[in-house]
Amino acid sequence: MPTPPAEVAEAAPGVETLVEDPRWEGADLPGRAARAAAATLAHLGLDPASWEIAVLGCDDARIAELNATFRAKPRPTNVLSWPSEDRAPARPGAAPAAPDPADPELGDLALAFDTCAREAAAAGKPLGDHATHLIVHGILHLLGHDHETEADAARMERLEVEILGKLGLSDPYS
């Protein structure tokens, strides 16, 4: 993912966080990204120290540019993901292909502060909890999960709820 120079924080082995929008600093985006990545990877039986993920904390304007460039949707969204390779399963509801240990890079995520803060406020949730959910969601996308079919959505949501539960967060779908 192309990004301009900015301060980069190495929150944990394998998770690199670039904070473009300083409002993310109050939400401890690097720490949340590291914890969410560790919980997600461990839940799926992957050693968190063996994989690399980059996380960008930006604003709505930046994510709208990225969304326009990569998805032809010139509007802000909460999270975008760029998997390093296509790991999607051959049939709906099946498990995605496991990542190749010879290529530890899983991909990149971007989160928009404005949209995330708006959604958290509308749901009556702390911004940090909502951001953690979106990071878990994005990492599952990096690993080949999606919500394009009912079977895939059910599988992905079940994993999100299980992982968030291990992080002490409530079911975001209830």
Strands 52-58 and 105-112, how do they pair? parallel
Q: Which two tokens stand for residue 42?
A: 């461990």
| Residue 145 annotated in ligand binding | no
- Cα distances (Å, whole numbers) of residue 168 to 29, 87, 95, 117, 172: 17, 28, 25, 20, 12
Q: Are 139 and 53 in contact (CB under 8 A)?
A: yes
Q: Are 158 and 95 in contact (CB under 8 A)?
A: no
Pairwise CA distance, residues 93 & 155, whole Å: 6
**Residues forming beta bridges with residue 10, ordered by sequence position:** 16
Pairwise CA distance, residues 14 & 124, whole Å: 32
Q: Are 39 and 167 in contact (CB under 8 A)?
A: yes
Mark the binding-site residues, compressed into ranges: 137, 141, 147
Mark the binding-site residues for Zn(2+), compressed into ranges: 137, 141, 147
